[in-house]
Structure 1
Amino acid sequence: MNLVRFMNNRAPANKRYQPTEYEHAANCATHALWIIPSIVGGVLLYFLSDDHWEEIAAYLYGAGLSSLFIISTAFHTITWKKSHLRSVEQCFHMCDRMVIYFFIAASYTPWLTLRELGPWASHMRWVVWVMASGGTAYVFFFHERYKVVELVCYTAMGVFPAMVILSMADRSGLCELLVGGGCYVLGMVFFKSDGVVPFAHAIWHLFVAMGAGIHYYAIWKYLYTPVNQQTSTAR
């Protein structure tokens, strides 16, 4: 079967790739499937919380995780239906890019809040949210203008806080963090492969779902199950 017929030609550098009908359906389905599990997962962590800091971490992480899948699905659905309200589509596209920054910050929050860190590393608890705010401002002012710069920003925010995680006295869960991070990194190859690999964006979505699933498992197992609960230095 010739898979090329399922994708369009690669878009010029200054234009957005236009998926085929098949790709639109795949883009929607591959993140819509995880909306309910992400909401349930966030609620589960909240009810497993034993104190105020665990509740805050669970709320922020659950909100970031579910928002990623909800906004992504909404944007791809609006785009697929070819809405005549171009301003609405543009708004959701910007939100789709913005939420990635907050998702990254939310994913780090449980580790930076509930694990004991070195004295300088503890500042990363709020630095990640400053970075997310900066990324949001960048999208607002320079959306789709410098795609390579945007990719570098996502990568930097995903990797830089990870250096702090290495300072944890208790490194249980580090293997899962690295594997999950590896899923994101591998997925980025497909994130930039629209028009080169059929269903590239949907494949990217699957790598995101795998990475998020592995990271969720690590947070649940090492930070929220009773035998592994850690004492936050922020308490």
Structure 2
Amino acid sequence: MLIAKAANSCQYLSAKIYGASLILLFTVSFCYHLAEYIPFNTMTLNLCHRMDRAMIYVFISANYYPWVLLLELPRDSWVTHLSWGIWVLAFLGITYQQIFHEKYKLIEVTLYLIVGALPGLVLQHTIDEVEGFIEMAIGGLLYIVGVGFFRSDGKIPFAHAIWHVHVVAASTCHFYAVHRYLLGRTNLPEGLHCQSI
């Protein structure tokens, strides 16, 4: 749906990266949860768990990618570096997560929230009245509320399942925003980074 709606090469690239990350997130998550119920060896389960956690960072960055690539950000500002900065944040988060896997869970969750919220806060204060930001904000709020259940796994009945419901609802909001407001439109100002694509 995303690729079919893309109106130019920049939108096409955004659709591919965002769409691929969406598919990978749910595929890797499915494989990890399947591995928990099938008697795989500990090494396989650990690998699936690490991949599942790493995909969260990739997905967060891919969520922002269409916005920073397709919108016209202020020139001569550090904000223009968000298109690669979000991936640096993801790389740093994945590196930390792989080194200290499940050792400092509160720090890990805090990093997810920082990597997830920081680009959104920057974009919100940089670009005025961009359609779709309400849906992005609602999705972000759903993720944040869901994190409470993620942290309550084992304490609240079905907390992990409730976390996944929040993930599906939030990713649906973000998908709608990207599909409805960014792709297929020729009246959007061309983002600074799109001009070289």
Q: TM-score range by the shorter chain?
A: over 0.9
Counterpart Cα distance in 1 of 2:11 and 2:81: 18
How far has the Cα of 1:105 moved from its partner? Answer: 0.1
* Equivalent position of 2:84 in the other structure: 126
Partner amino acid for 1:132? Answer: A
Q: CA deviation at 1:199?
A: 1.0
Q: Which among 195, 203, 207 is matched to residue 166 of structure 2?
A: 207
- Per the alignment, residue 37 of structure 2 pairs with 80
Change (3 A) 1:228 1:213: farther
Say whether residues 1:143 and 2:101 are aligned partners.
yes
- Cα distance in 2 for partners of 1:139, 1:227 equals 40
Alpha-carbon distance, 1:120 to partner: 2.3
1:104 is paired with a residue whose SS is: helix
Identity across the alignment (%): 36
Query: Superposition pairs for residues 1-235 of structure 1, below 5 Å?
Result: 44-83=1-40, 85-118=41-74, 119-166=77-124, 167-226=126-185, 229-234=188-193, 235=195
Aligned residue type for 1:86: T
Q: TM-score, normalised by structure 2?
A: 0.92
In 1, Cα distance between the equivalents of 2:6 and 2:189?
11
Uncovered stretches (5+) of structure 2, i.e. residues with no partner: none
- 3-state DSSP class of the match of 1:196? coil
The residue type paired with residue 162 of structure 1 is: G
Inter-partner Cα distance in structure 2 for 1:60 and 1:184: 21
What does the per-residue CA deviation read over 1:174-214, in whole Å, with 9 as the maximum and x for residues that have no partner? 11111111100110110011121111111100001000000
* Counterpart contact for 1:74–1:92, Cα < 8 Å: yes
Gaps of 5+ in 1: 1-43
In the TM superposition, residue 225 of structure 1 has moved relative to its aligned partner by 3.5
Task: Give, in angstroms, the shift of residue 228 of structure 1.
Answer: 5.8
In the alignment, residue 47 of structure 2 is paired with which amino acid? C
> In structure 2, how many angstroms separate the alpha carbons of the residues matched to 1:52 and 1:232?
12
Which aligned segments of 4 or more residues in structure 1 are displaced greater than 2 angstroms?
Answer: 225-230
Check conservation: 1:75, 1:92, Cα contact below 8 A: yes
Partners of 1:105 and 1:132 within 8 A in 2: yes
Bigger RCO (CA 8 Å, 6+ sep)? 2
Task: Tell me the CA shift for residue 226 of structure 1.
Answer: 2.9
CA contact (8 A) 1:223 1:230 kept: no
Secondary structure at the counterpart of residue 202 of structure 1 = helix
Supply the AA of the counterpart residue of 2:167. V
- How much has 1:61 moved relative to structure 2? 0.4
Contact 2:150 2:160 survives alignment (8 Å): yes
Alpha-carbon spacing, 1:170–1:232, altered in 2? closer, same or farther (3 Å): farther
- Greater shift, 66-75 or 116-125, is seen at 116-125
